[in-house]
Structure formats: structure tokens, C-alpha cells
Amino acid sequence: MASKAEIKQALARNGFHIEFLPDTGLPKVTLYKPNGQAMPNLPADSVSLQSYLARGFTFAPPEHPTDENQNIIKCNICGFSTTNKRALLAHMIEHTSIGG
Ligand SMILES: [Zn+2]
């Protein structure tokens, strides 16, 4: 498990700053949900952080909160849009199968 100093250095390298509460010594961090909601005072130990990040939490508010428009990707041929990469791939294959 990473030490407090290691966590702090790793975050600092990425331009983030976290506070260690003097009473508990536990690192706390504010993370943001994909929909933009701030989640203050989350435990910032490496295990917790990894699980939060794996769930899509970020250190900074998302530029485009994904409340409704989750990760929309677009076909650059016809403008078809989807949130599903596989669906877009299947769609792109249709273009190629009808000669583009
Ligand atoms: Zn298309």
C-alpha cells in the first residue's frame, strides 16, 4: 500500500492537491462523478482511489457531464451517434459493406 507521501507526490505530479486531516491522518480527496456531482472527503488511500477511478470518478469536474449524453461517439461519415463503441463499429462496417 502506498504511503501518504507517495499518494501526495503522485497526485501532485498530476497537478492535484489533497489534504491530510490532522485528527485522523487519513487522506481525503474530492472526486467528481461522471455526471459532474462533487463528492468531497472521500478516502484517498490507494485502494479506495483505484476503486473510485475505476467507477469513472475524476479529480476534476468533467467538462461534459455525462448525465444524459454519456460518451457519445459519432460516425464521421453520416453523423450517426451512439454511446456504444461496438454499435458504432458495427455501423461503420455497414458503410464499408455498401461501398462507403
Ligand atoms: Zn455512418
- 46 plus 13 within the same structural domain: yes
Q: For residue 78, how far is its CA from the centre of ligand 1 (angstroms)?
A: 4
What is the SS3 string spanning the chain? Answer: CCCHHHHHHHHHHCCCCCEECCCCCCEEEEEECCCCCEEEEEECCHHHHHHHHHCCCECCCCCCCCCCCCCCEECCCCCCEECCHHHHHHHHHHHHHCCC
Q: For residue 70, how far is its CA from the centre of ligand 1 (angstroms)?
A: 19
User: What's the confidence (pLDDT) of residue 12?
Assistant: 78
Q: For residue 72, how far is its CA from the centre of ligand 1 (angstroms)?
A: 14
* pLDDT reading at 70 higher than 80: no
- For residue 59, being part of any structural domain is answered with no
Mean pLDDT (whole number) for 70-94: 85
Q: For residue 40, how far is its CA from the centre of ligand 1 (angstroms)?
A: 41
Q: For residue 100, how far is its CA from the centre of ligand 1 (angstroms)?
A: 9
- For residue 62, being part of any structural domain is answered with no
User: What's the confidence (pLDDT) of residue 68?
Assistant: 57
* pLDDT reading at 4 higher than 90: no
- 44 plus 19 within the same structural domain: yes
- Per-residue pLDDT reduced to its tens digit, 12-58: 787 776 666 566 667 888 999 888 888 998 988 888 889 999 998 98
Mean pLDDT (whole number) for 57-72: 74
Mean pLDDT (whole number) for 63-87: 79
The residue ranking higher by pLDDT, 55 or 63, is 55
Count: domains in the chain: 2
- 77 plus 49 within the same structural domain: no
- For residue 64, being part of any structural domain is answered with no
Q: For residue 77, how far is its CA from the centre of ligand 1 (angstroms)?
A: 5
